[in-house]
């Protein structure tokens, strides 16, 4: 396996073929680099692992004549406005009304044109960054200004349409879940369905706890899986991992988002399949055309908590790690931001403080362990 990265790595010179530096922002330049690399190290697949690389991975696979999702389908999953257009035109897919506005438009005028409550979103940022609920025109104007500021301080290229537009959609009430799946010839296999027990009603949408298996009734879980498969079909996705966010209410399962990638961050560490196979191995084996191991998730309930950032400032210290680690059911606590770095909460944050992982006899005991461990932690931010 070769890891492609946009940064020079210490091992890139020491281990030939293990690392490849690519220019992620320029597809043409990356294609030239990859073609040269592939002459010496023939490739069987190209897999994008996050939102920033899914489109480039599809383009590179297409250049090499390898199996891949259509590039336009991956773009539809990457950009929220294109996704909403495709889902809105699809039969049997619940997707809310939406509007797209330029960042140079006057928010005081357009605030009167939308339906409340609504949610404002950047087109292409991830991890709920810049996602804000507005219940009134005054809140809309404030949220619009915040997102313009967030986009101005992001690393988006000036020619990226996501740098100059904001998506506004009607707020979808209901219970939110996350589905991790694998597409094979257009058919979706559900690998895991995560409950999100914390309400995500705004004004910001900070995801915290994921627990699997879901405690929803089997009929609801089937409805969610079918909705996710219809959404993937509407976008044109045919193969590889899918991470879908949905909301369930009395009208059915609504699509919040569908991504042509696996779950983000370190969250996949909570998943094991068959005899201990990781999610990443399953994805790589499918991409390379190898036989898949069992796609059945291990039966013991598991969960992860993405540790939220409570305030802005410099992270000076983390207290209570030993006490949190001793909570029954806790497997691991990973603080991923080093002390001394500046942190910001949502909607400006682009990362979490870290992750807490747990197993238990029931989903309820997993959730309780995660909450208790988090309560033991104290973050010194100045």
Residue 293: the pLDDT is 76
Average predicted confidence (pLDDT) for the chain: 92
Residue 344: the pLDDT is 92
- Torsion angle, CA of 17/30/127/153, rounded to 10 degrees? 130
Residue 193: the pLDDT is 97
* % of the chain with per-residue pLDDT over 90: 73
Range 28-39 average pLDDT: 88
Residue 34: the pLDDT is 87
pLDDT in tens, 141-156: 999 999 999 998 887 7
pLDDT in tens, 6-18: 876 665 555 667 8
Cα separation, 380 vs 374, in Å, equals 14
Residue 185 has pLDDT above 60, yes or no: yes
How many alpha carbons lie under 13 Å from residue 340 in its C-beta half-sphere? 1
- The distance from CA 94 to its chain's CA centroid, rounded to whole angstroms, is 20
Residue 349: the pLDDT is 83
Residue 255: the pLDDT is 97
pLDDT tier at 5, thresholds 50, 70, 90: confident
Of the given ranges (292-296, 306-310, 371-375), which has the lowest mean pLDDT? 292-296
**Higher per-residue confidence, 285 vs 161:** 285
Range 320-342 average pLDDT: 96
* % of the chain with per-residue pLDDT over 70: 98
For the four alpha carbons of 62, 289, 241 and 41, in that order, the dihedral sign comes to negative
Query: In the chain, which segments carry CATH 3.30.470.20?
Result: 300-382
Range 267-274 average pLDDT: 91
The verdict on domain 97-170 having CATH code 3.30.1490.20 is yes
- Taking the model in full, what pTM does it have? 0.92
Residue 15: the pLDDT is 63
Range 156-180 average pLDDT: 90
Cα separation, 172 vs 98, in Å, equals 11
Spatial strand order of the sheet with 313-319 comes to 342-343, 313-319, 378-381
pLDDT in tens, 121-130: 998 887 788 9
Of the given ranges (1-15, 99-113, 252-266, 353-367), which has the lowest mean pLDDT? 1-15
Range 342-361 average pLDDT: 92
CATH of 300-382, one of 3.30.950.10, 3.40.50.300, 3.90.45.10, 3.30.470.20: 3.30.470.20
**Higher per-residue confidence, 125 vs 159:** 125
Query: In the chain, which segments carry CATH 3.30.1490.20?
Result: 97-170
pLDDT in tens, 23-33: 887 888 888 98
């Amino acid at each position: 396996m070769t890891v492609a990265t946009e940064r020079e790595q210490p091992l890139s010179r020491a281990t030939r073929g293990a690392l490849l530096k690519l220019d992620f922002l320029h597809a043409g330049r990356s294609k030239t680099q990859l073609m040269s690399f592939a002459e010496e190290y023939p490739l069987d697949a190209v897999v994008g692992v996050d939102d920033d690389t899914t489109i480039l991975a599809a383009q590179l696979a297409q250049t090499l004549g390898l199996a891949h999702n259509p590039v336009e389908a991956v773009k539809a999953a990457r950009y929220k406005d294109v996704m909403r257009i495709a889902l809105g035109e699809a039969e049997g897919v619940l997707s809310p009304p939406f509007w797209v506005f330029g960042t140079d438009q006057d928010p005081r005028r357009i605030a009167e044109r939308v339906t409340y409550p609504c949610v404002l979103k950047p087109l292409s940022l991830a991890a709920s960054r810049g996602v804000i609920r507005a219940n009134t025109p005054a809140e809309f104007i404030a949220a619009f200004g915040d997102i313009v500021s967030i986009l101005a301080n992001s690393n988006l290229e000036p020619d990226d349409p996501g740098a100059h537009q904001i998506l506004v959609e009607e707020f979808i009430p209901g219970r939110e879940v996350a589905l991790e799946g694998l597409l094979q010839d257009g058919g979706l296999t559900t690998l895991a369905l995560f409950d999100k027990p914390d309400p995500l009603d705004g004004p910001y949408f900070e995801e915290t706890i994921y627990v699997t298996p879901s405690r929803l009734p089997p009929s609801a879980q089937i409805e969610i899986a079918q909705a996710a498969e219809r959404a993937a079909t509407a976008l044109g996705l045919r193969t590889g991992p899918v991470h879908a966010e949905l909301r369930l209410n009395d009208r059915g399962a609504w699509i919040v988002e569908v991504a042509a990638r696996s779950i983000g961050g370190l969250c996949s560490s909570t998943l094991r399949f068959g005899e201990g196979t990781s999610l990443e191995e399953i994805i790589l084996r499918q991409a390379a055309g190898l036989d898949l191991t069992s796609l059945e998730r291990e039966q013991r309930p598991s969960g992860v908590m993405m540790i939220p950032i409570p305030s802005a400032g410099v992270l000076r210290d983390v207290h209570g790690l030993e006490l949190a680690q001793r909570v029954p059911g806790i497997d691991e606590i990973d603080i991923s931001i080093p002390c001394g770095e500046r942190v910001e909460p949502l909607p400006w944050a682009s990362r979490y403080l870290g992750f807490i992982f747990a197993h238990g006899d029931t989903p309820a005991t997993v959730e309780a362990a995660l909450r208790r461990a988090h309560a033991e932690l104290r973050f010194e931010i100045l």
